[in-house]
Structure 1
């Protein structure tokens, strides 16, 4: 690049010092009066090279931003910027653009004499409300995509714009980035950082210069960062829709727009190299990138971060009192560290693959095994491998054990898969995506075997147990073998090393000169690293592993599965394995499960699995046959309840259980009216849906209740009609309504209520509530139904059943979820007298509810609950967890309160602790962010603003700490 040529506009490399204009707020206010006829307050804003002021009228209305241009910039350049703003505003009417407002003479560019040395150019720019993303903390993928979308729209709009004022040499123009770093590097005081910047800039420029001639140029804003893209806000949601500050407008590579936009993402907490992908996708969707442009993005991004640091260091020496510069230093250093944390070629391959470009590496050829070697077989060490059942994936030596077991059955050689996530590497309780994808293969041999050079070349590294052979096209490294060869030239077929019997040897291959890949990499970076490695399988006589098909599982689901059956999360991981309080995805990520109250014992409990297998090998039929297990389970279940609850009905689900409970009450009383509590959910059958009033599950719930359902006020002591000590009045009101029903000649058959208020996030009912309401309904001849579907089975810790917390005894109990630990099993328990009255409805049975299989599982669940002390664990860990959450509430005002008892908790989010405005959007965003950090949590409640915290009862304090620490991080960094 001819960086020192004569230009129409500014040339930084000829005039590399640009201290910001020294203009006071008083001077700015005089300019407003004299040039614009505006009397307003001018407050200084941060800027590196110009001087900006926020202009506010006396009534607090923001008028605009007064911008005093650096004296180095001339009128031609500034006019080009104003015209470009007009072009974008016309081409993209959906974008808000900060265009200049006219002065008293009708001009957009105002020349002011005597303010600086010579003429000062001033503009009053339209203010765009909403602010920017600069101070937003963590940027969610949607916000990052919004930045990329704005950059794409601006790039599209400016594609045909030309003007003499674009002829400039700016320090931010990446065509001159290497020159800028070289010129300013000495200003960086830290010698180690200087060396890192110099090396990174040189490497980045080597990649860019190789592509330069194939990169199209056009007018570019060049500063569409988090500081210059304005957003509209709706609660926690932001939409990028505005553009400000055209001061860096120039003619340069079009893809620079994207690289500079994406670089700003890396300054935010919680971001990493992969975080920029939504911006790149969004930009590409609007202004498609060529392969060369896509390949240039990451090296340009690296160079941009280097330029920022050296420029900031220089500016700090020129303008040491400029707080804006020093405030940006930490963010810019973070950007550089993140940009250089992954090799340029790796991230380039990640970007290319993400955009659909082919990045497959060239196949390797040769033979690592001598002719006549033992046969080679492939081990399945993926997430779905049966060898990892019963939690074996957690064992440090599990892969060796699996390999040795395979060799015991079939002598020879076994190898692991290349590029397939290996479950044994999936660590628990980590906020970082784990390194699980192997970049090579591991080989085990049943006996000692020789490994030969697959091609001629040079041994460039040799130690006792590791050797690297470099050939013309590829190099190979063997780790864990007994090295035979020495440094120097070697011919194909010559022995490199020998394997010891049953000892692992890692085989990795890469193109000659490529960076050495870690043994395992994250699923997100895997496309990049695998593009820079080779599949060693052909060297072992096996075909190249076919790339794993990645069908759109959600699309398939939508095509065959009714869409009303919703799924968690907009972009959910594919979960195919669970263990205790963990869920594991096909990408090898281990998530802490904080919502699965169905699997009360924990996922994949081996005793439940063994029980199911044994019973299925013997008998599975329906309860009309005579077999012992249905009797034993019924006896065991009834024994957990107080008198007179001694008679059991078995069904398939909680909906069926509560539906049957309603039918029992109607049959026993001969009545059809039911009293239910508002904001509650009981199920999906006709009967349970009729008494469900949660608007979160059905927005029309209250308006569509059948006439036989009568609702009483939700006993919500936090945000309801009565709060705190006044919450006892909920019972009084409910009793009054029941008495009025009785007096009107419509005495209810039943009152149905969750014994702990589940839809409110596990909120305990006001003291004495159930006692008083049960007494009122019984006084009228009705029955009390306790819905224990979610809360029963020891989840409260101190009490096995929720109604025990209220010191009340219902007439009918419905239960499910926990009863089968995920197997479909529910029950209704009542008195013998009530059960007998049901004969008036005819015969009843449930095909699988009382089957031998369901009953055997039900017995096992009760056994494990007792033997593993899970009810006590719920009390201990639940109490610990709630204390930690309450401590978190003291630091984060978004937490309005923490509901619940034991492991039946809810964290309610509010925007204001006085008004209790629900933080609905924030809660949804927090759940998405928690998923990124390894926690499965979901919103609940009518306002969907409560974190439903109901994990399996086997969770320990480490899991509780991880949940709270992750939530603390999210609430601190943003979501």
Structure 2
């Protein structure tokens, strides 16, 4: 009987290299004839068997060093997993005429074990590029399910010593590291191996051991054709016994080489595995050191395999990604990742200030340097020295809290977050020296920082003046000089040095190594509100949606930037509500001043309402001269319909397909978008008549044929009149917004407006999204069509996020509405609303935002058109100015909407610092409607980020 395989005794393991013709003969003898194509493998020989061009099986020729009983164990393990997890596709041995297609054959390379394995249609994940969190989670879940299936598996072929067994990682590195040609790389691998092995060695006795696949990586997890989530497992060649947690560690390691892959991005896989196979405490502590050991083993093994098997393209091509896995695993200390993993699973350990510790300092007050700090208003957070200015303004000694993200650390237009979460409390001495006393007895040491060990912790002070030596609790320890600042950390005694600021994604891991120093400073603990989303969901109706499945918590805006609670500055490319930018100082000041003066309902007499109405009508052509003020776009459309019905004495309204106009009873009635209401088309009330969406890209008439939409809509209106049902109005956006900024066909509105007016009806232009200069070349959307409507609705940008809407019409139409009685809106047209509206219009004019929309919009559109030349998923670039839509399709010929892809692209853009959302009936259009203050560099950043996503995946 052949001895079990022992890697350390076997020596070099070049893969078999049977000629393809000989391998084809073996396949035929197994009953699976066909054409063969070589596939990659590190130590075996794999070939794809095709028949009539279609894959039917994988021929696997095992390395001669592996005994037959070990191959049998692999096949038995695959069959067991298939039985236990029938919804997973498993690469089991094929059966031909009721017998397994496997055997040992005499070959030109000696006797070899040969099997035909089930081919799983689809593909592996190794070359997919970016792996979305849902994919990462599924990989972790599959890893857990396979581990559970093999928990009690026993077989004599499992007793083997493999180089991939992480119990042997230190020996493998010792043996193979000399083969690596780069001395610096060798040293890095050895250093990390020594540290990780030391941690795991102390836990080894408590780590459960069982059978496992131990190679559930992106090379061996398969997704079905057209699928994103893995549902299949291949290659049981590394089946053996090992630490149970190593199954997960192997899976995590492969995630690190993908675009966007870094240590924190593996957490969905950890959560998913733990949900299936709850990890023990010792396994949590061992997990990241094992990921590091896996990275080290891959690097040295790959180098050795290439050295002995230079023709092995598979091994050679893997070297770069193996190094990236190692480098990313080493990029964050294992103690930090352990804390991060524990936090993700709700099983964190906390460090606390020792009970009975004496005060470090007295007389401190809390200094707010967080995301919502008043000192950061009006963009002050972007100017250097914010924290020092805030401290000076506070007067006296102050302390900024531990663990609360600092707004001054936020960085704009960055693809990755900046270090923004403090692991220290920051002291500001103020005008006088701030004395610090020893909180406990110990031996102080001075180096880069002053450190004082305590019970299970160590105090670390940076930026102080002090000296070492023995101190007793309460003794003078150090001073912060006048005008100076110091950082106060309380770290676990065995923790590595912790940066003062850390990235928010890693903050829970770093903070797990530190305690809040607040008890030493006589201050309240730092606030924590991890349950905000749950509180929102508990209090709000489920129908009141929020962007993103896992939404960032946004607490500050400035111009085109949104800042989340972790200090991440995001580029806002979707917010057409805030036309003049977030937190515009002129608007803030004007609204605040008016609130201090007067705010009441619009039936009182005051200057602001008259000034605002006059300013608004001055922007519109005659005879649009009468204004009605409301609170929102929905209310404006609702009121416009009422006005038209009152003025004409009719009820019917002609609306356009695929449109959204609002949420009130009337505005919803004329909304036909199935994105917002899947039953929209079939549930319109009888007074609403719908004509085809004039969509030249996706509609019934496309390209040049789109000119037919106008005559057809006009004919439908005339038919209603001929039938004795002339409509009160035709209502449409003058630039088709819901579809993504699609321009109406030339002459469309002129033809339709003429038809509705023939029978005494009115033309309503819904300018809620497109008006006020967003198109760049035109201030109003109807100008692009060369028409003047009878009624115009305005909102969104008009209040820059403040609830304000308006209906502007002719004196004649307004007089007709008066027959219904008086009208007022308590808040619409209030003093504050009116001042807000006037200020917005003034800023649009004074800052030249219409021209900016034209210039930056042209630049942005040109960048998107350039992307369309390289990325087939882009079907069309719609729009003008800063009212753009990027339509994504799976096939440019069929124009099949890329709905799922669009949502995934938006999620990936968020990770790269860009806020974007889908629009359109098929949710396959990127809604590109940023604040009009968008600068050119921000437009370029958006194009670059989108290019990165379309290139590297979503």
TM-score, length-normalised on structure 1?
A: 0.95
Does residue 284 of structure 2 align to residue 294 of structure 1? Answer: yes
Task: Tell me the equivalent position of 1:814.
Answer: 793
Does residue 4 of structure 2 align to residue 9 of structure 1? Answer: yes
Q: How far is 1:491 from its partner?
A: 6.4
Task: Tell me the equivalent position of 1:387.
Answer: 375
Residues 364 and 536 in structure 1, CA contact (< 8 A), matched pair in contact too = no
Inter-partner Cα distance in structure 2 for 1:615 and 1:187: 75
Inter-partner Cα distance in structure 1 for 2:212 and 2:938: 49
Secondary structure, counterpart of 2:654 in structure 1:
strand
Secondary structure, counterpart of 1:791 in structure 2:
coil
Q: How far is 1:398 from its partner?
A: 1.1
Please list, as runs of the form range in 1=range in 2, the aligned pairs for 1:168-567 lying within 5 A after superposition.
168-234=160-226, 238-364=228-354, 374-407=362-395, 411=396, 413-446=397-430, 447-455=432-440, 460-462=445-447, 467-469=450-452, 473-481=456-464, 483-485=465-467, 495-542=476-523, 545=525, 548-551=528-531, 553-567=532-546
Secondary structure, counterpart of 1:251 in structure 2:
strand
Q: Deviations over 1:510-542 (max 9, x none)?
A: 234521111100122112111223333343344
Q: How far is 1:50 from its partner?
A: 0.6
Secondary structure, counterpart of 1:905 in structure 2:
strand
Residues 674 and 708 in structure 1, CA contact (< 8 A), matched pair in contact too = yes
Secondary structure, counterpart of 2:639 in structure 1:
helix
Please list, as runs of the form range in 1=range in 2, the aligned pairs for 1:126-145 lying within 5 A after superposition.
126-145=118-137
Unaligned runs of 5+ in 1: 1-5
Unaligned runs of 5+ in 2: none
Q: How far is 1:301 from its partner?
A: 0.4
Inter-partner Cα distance in structure 2 for 1:333 and 1:388: 42
Q: Which of 593, 606, 615 does residue 636 from structure 1 map onto?
A: 615
Q: How far is 1:719 from its partner?
A: 2.1
Residues 467 and 496 in structure 1, CA contact (< 8 A), matched pair in contact too = no
Task: Tell me the equivalent position of 1:65.
Answer: 58
Task: Tell me the equivalent position of 1:50.
Answer: 44
CA 1:964–1:907 in 2, change beyond 3 Å: closer, same or farther? same
Moved more, 719-728 or 566-575: 719-728
Q: How far is 1:426 from its partner?
A: 1.1
Inter-partner Cα distance in structure 2 for 1:453 and 1:841: 79
Moved more, 430-439 or 669-678: 669-678
Inter-partner Cα distance in structure 2 for 1:588 and 1:540: 25
CA 1:115–1:723 in 2, change beyond 3 Å: closer, same or farther? same
Inter-partner Cα distance in structure 2 for 1:849 and 1:770: 30
Does residue 851 of structure 2 align to residue 858 of structure 1? Answer: no
Inter-partner Cα distance in structure 2 for 1:607 and 1:725: 46
CA 1:905–1:838 in 2, change beyond 3 Å: closer, same or farther? same
Residues 462 and 485 in structure 1, CA contact (< 8 A), matched pair in contact too = no
Residues 899 and 924 in structure 2, CA contact (< 8 A), matched pair in contact too = yes
Task: Tell me the equivalent position of 1:152.
Answer: 144
Does residue 106 of structure 2 align to residue 113 of structure 1? Answer: yes
Q: Deviations over 1:212-250 (max 9, x none)?
A: 00001111111011111112354xx52222111111000
Secondary structure, counterpart of 2:106 in structure 1:
strand
CA 1:50–1:126 in 2, change beyond 3 Å: closer, same or farther? same
Secondary structure, counterpart of 1:644 in structure 2:
coil
Secondary structure, counterpart of 1:348 in structure 2:
helix
Q: Deviations over 1:781-837 (max 9, x none)?
A: 211110000001111122211111111110110111111111111111010001101
Residues 2 and 67 in structure 2, CA contact (< 8 A), matched pair in contact too = no
Moved more, 893-902 or 178-187: 893-902
Residues 369 and 450 in structure 1, CA contact (< 8 A), matched pair in contact too = no
Secondary structure, counterpart of 1:428 in structure 2:
coil
TM-score, length-normalised on structure 2?
A: 0.97
Please list, as runs of the form range in 1=range in 2, the aligned pairs for 1:723-802 lying within 5 A after superposition.
723-802=702-781
Residues 461 and 487 in structure 2, CA contact (< 8 A), matched pair in contact too = yes
Q: Which of 562, 569, 587 does residue 608 from structure 1 map onto?
A: 587
Please list, as runs of the form range in 1=range in 2, the aligned pairs for 1:883-922 lying within 5 A after superposition.
883-922=862-901
Moved more, 517-526 or 42-51: 517-526
Aligned residues: 953
Residues 8 and 168 in structure 1, CA contact (< 8 A), matched pair in contact too = no
Q: Deviations over 1:904-950 (max 9, x none)?
A: 11111111112111111100000011111111100001111110011
Secondary structure, counterpart of 1:764 in structure 2:
coil
Q: How far is 1:660 from its partner?
A: 1.3
Q: How far is 1:434 from its partner?
A: 2.0
Inter-partner Cα distance in structure 2 for 1:508 and 1:839: 70
Q: How far is 1:341 from its partner?
A: 0.3
Q: Deviations over 1:151-201 (max 9, x none)?
A: 100111111111111000000000101000000000100000000000011
Task: Tell me the equivalent position of 2:819.
Answer: 840
Residues 167 and 251 in structure 1, CA contact (< 8 A), matched pair in contact too = yes
Inter-partner Cα distance in structure 2 for 1:496 and 1:554: 43
Inter-partner Cα distance in structure 2 for 1:18 and 1:852: 83
Does residue 689 of structure 2 align to residue 710 of structure 1? Answer: yes
Task: Tell me the equivalent position of 1:99.
Answer: 92
Inter-partner Cα distance in structure 1 for 2:659 and 2:857: 23
Task: Tell me the equivalent position of 1:19.
Answer: 14
Moved more, 638-647 or 15-24: 15-24
Does residue 637 of structure 2 align to residue 658 of structure 1? Answer: yes
Residues 345 and 528 in structure 1, CA contact (< 8 A), matched pair in contact too = yes
Q: Deviations over 1:876-925 (max 9, x none)?
A: 21111111111121221111121111111111111111211111110000
Inter-partner Cα distance in structure 2 for 1:163 and 1:367: 58
Q: How far is 1:368 from its partner?
A: 8.4
Moved more, 902-911 or 719-728: 719-728
Inter-partner Cα distance in structure 2 for 1:187 and 1:70: 21
Inter-partner Cα distance in structure 2 for 1:362 and 1:476: 12
Inter-partner Cα distance in structure 1 for 2:309 and 2:745: 63
Q: How far is 1:336 from its partner?
A: 0.6
Inter-partner Cα distance in structure 1 for 2:362 and 2:257: 53
Moved more, 553-562 or 264-273: 553-562
Q: How far is 1:263 from its partner?
A: 0.7
Inter-partner Cα distance in structure 1 for 2:461 and 2:582: 39
Residues 367 and 541 in structure 1, CA contact (< 8 A), matched pair in contact too = no
Secondary structure, counterpart of 1:66 in structure 2:
strand
Q: Deviations over 1:620-663 (max 9, x none)?
A: 22222222221111111111100000011111111111111112
Please list, as runs of the form range in 1=range in 2, the aligned pairs for 1:938-953 lying within 5 A after superposition.
938-953=917-932
Task: Tell me the equivalent position of 1:80.
Answer: 73
Inter-partner Cα distance in structure 2 for 1:7 and 1:364: 60
CA 1:806–1:107 in 2, change beyond 3 Å: closer, same or farther? closer
Q: Which of 27, 31, 34 does residue 32 from structure 1 map onto?
A: 27
Inter-partner Cα distance in structure 2 for 1:359 and 1:233: 43
Please list, as runs of the form range in 1=range in 2, the aligned pairs for 1:952-967 lying within 5 A after superposition.
952-967=931-946
CA 1:296–1:918 in 2, change beyond 3 Å: closer, same or farther? same
Residues 404 and 526 in structure 2, CA contact (< 8 A), matched pair in contact too = no
Q: How far is 1:450 from its partner?
A: 3.4
Inter-partner Cα distance in structure 2 for 1:670 and 1:767: 31
Inter-partner Cα distance in structure 2 for 1:847 and 1:493: 62
